[in-house]
Amino acid sequence: MIKQRIIVAKISITRKGEVKFFQVKIPFDAKIITGVETGMRLKNFEAPGRPAGYANSLIGELKLQGSDDSNVFYAANVSDYSISERLDKVPVIDFIDENVWTHGYKRELEQILVDGNTTVLAGIYKDKIGEMLNVNVSYDVFLYMWYKFKAKKNDNQSCP
């Protein structure tokens, strides 16, 4: 039986324009990587106040590369629309307007098909929000990679 699991990687950014190189180990039982999702959690700004004048939802740039023939198979701008709607996940009640999505925006899975025989994915992430605001912004970017694997008989254990 074919089942799906998710690999989660966290990329922490603390300075404007920071570039992070990272690697994600792919489990040995992965047959194919089927999708990628991104999310972010704002920690704090060095500048006083919040990103009030920031109307852009762009947070940074992400690229993923496999060690096999796929090479660079994913490149995208990481966005968080809650930044421009003043729902930056920092619980300060003074400025949070009533809205349907009070706990972040609905994430959408981006479909990809990459052979699971690769053992490690290499990635690069570049901060854009800090550069545009010209301040140090501290936040975490979360990378969710969906993969399919063939379950063994009576494999009903929870994910590690």
Q: pTM here? A: 0.74
| N residues, the chain | 160
Range of the domain at 30: 2-150
Alpha helices in the chain (DSSP H): 81-84, 129-133
Q: What percent of the chain has pLDDT over 70?
A: 68
CA-based max dimension of the chain = 57
pLDDT in tens, 16-46: 999 999 999 988 888 888 889 888 887 876 6
User: Is 155 among the domain residues?
Assistant: no
User: Is 157 among the domain residues?
Assistant: no
CATH number, residue 44: 2.60.120
